[in-house]
Each structure stands twice: as C-alpha cells, then as structure tokens.
Amino acid sequence: MLINAASQDECRIAVLHDGVLEELFLERQSSESHVGNIYKGRVLNIEPSIQAAFIDFGLPRNGFLHITDVQPQYFPGHTGGSEDVGRKIPRHHRPPIHRKTGRPPACRGR
C-alpha cells in the first residue's frame, strides 16, 4: 500500500499486489463526501411524492434520505432479523415514508 499525502488538499492511496496496481483511492478536501457515513439528524421535511425526507445533520445543506436507504428493521410490522441490513426491500413491501413507526430511522448521510 502506497500513501501520498504530501499536499493538504489531496490524499492518494494505491494498493499494489505483486507490483501491479489493484486499486487507487483519491480524496480531495474540496469534494468531501458524506455518503455512507453515519450521522444523528432531525427530520425537517417529508416528501411523500418522492418517498424521501430531508434531514438536518449539522451541515449547511440538509441531507436527503430516500425510503430505500431506511433500514428495514425500522419499517412498521417488520419481523425479520439483522440479516435484512444492507438488503434492498422490493417497492411493494416498503411502507410509505410518511407512515409513523414510533422509532427514528437509521440513516446514512446523503
């Protein structure tokens, strides 16, 4: 693994296997992504027409959470176990996003 972080604006990581480049990762401060991170937030607005919610998670712009990004364990009447985490639920099995569950959804930054 080779890491080049000479510049404060960019970090580069190269993964080599037997001298051959396998993977290359670039991260720039100017294009920092919040997707995939875990945040605690507050639902500001629910848009049933697009099955999404806008979440205040502490940054200048609100996050966007689509119903497909809500963990199935937070759906009303869900009886599955932790094996459902990370799996997409078919559209006809997803409840409307505006239906109350009694528990806040676990969300990923978007």
**Number of H-type helices and E-type strands within the chain:** 0, 6
Whether residue 21 is contained in a domain is answered as yes
Query: Per residue in 4-36, pLDDT tens?
Result: 987 778 888 999 999 999 999 888 877 667 777
3-state secondary structure of 2: strand
Clarify whether residues 24 and 53 are in a common domain: no
Residue 10 sits in which domain range?
2-28
- When divided into structural domains, the chain yields a total of 2
Whether residue 49 is contained in a domain is answered as yes
Clarify whether residues 49 and 87 are in a common domain: yes
pTM score, whole prediction: 0.49
The pLDDT value recorded for residue 21 is: 93
Query: Which residue shows structure tokens 């119903």?
Result: 67
| Per-residue 3-state assignment (H helix, E strand, C coil) for 57-104 | CCCCCCEEEEHHHCCHHHCCCCCCCHHHCCCCCCHHHCCCCCCCCCCC
Distance, in Å, from the CA atom of 55 to the CA atom of 31, rounded to the nearest integer, reads 20
Query: Per residue in 73-104, pLDDT tens?
Result: 766 666 665 555 556 666 666 667 776 544 44
